Amino acid sequence: MRLRNFLGVVGVKNRSARWALVAAVAYAIALVLVAFWPTPVDTEAGPWLFAFIEQLHRIGVPQWFGYGEIEFGANILYFMPLGLLASWWLRWPWLAVLCGLGVSVMIETGQLLLLPDRVPSARDLVANTLGTGLGALVFLLCRGWLRRRARQGAAR
């Protein structure tokens, strides 16, 4: 069976849905690789990252801003695509946020049970869920903008 026929059978009928499916699969693979890598993925970047933070402090960034804040922000950014894609697929952004929380709980539990070199944390749950929520918000804003644009085009 050709891929296009298969996608039609599973409900992916138009080009934008196909691109969203490709993006979702690519994102899922990246998410699993990062989440379940045996060691923290930023291990190699550690020395560079700490030198960067030190440089930021020298130019006036407050001392309280450090590795934890960068990691928190990175987790938010990393989960925004999940919120965007899940909102698009599910059509209910609040449900996408719950999916983000569920995925995050599964990741943190998997790290706790399976990966002794990884450190699961409630802070990651918060950042990941916040990122999913921001992705869902981007979806809502884009959907609203597209609907307004369509109404304006129909009115002309």
Torsion of CA 106, 17, 84, 142, to 10 degrees: -170
Is the whole model's pTM more than 0.85, yes or no? no
Tell me which residue of 80, 82, 75 sits closest to 123, measured CA to CA: 75
* Residue 13 confidence class, pLDDT cut points 50, 70, 90: low
Over 70: is that where the pLDDT of 8 sits? no
Token readout for 114 is 């399976």
Could you read off the pLDDT of 29-59 as tens digits, one per residue? Answer: 999 999 999 988 888 888 899 999 999 999 9
Residue owning tokens 């950014």: 77
Cα separation, 131 vs 22, whole angstroms: 21
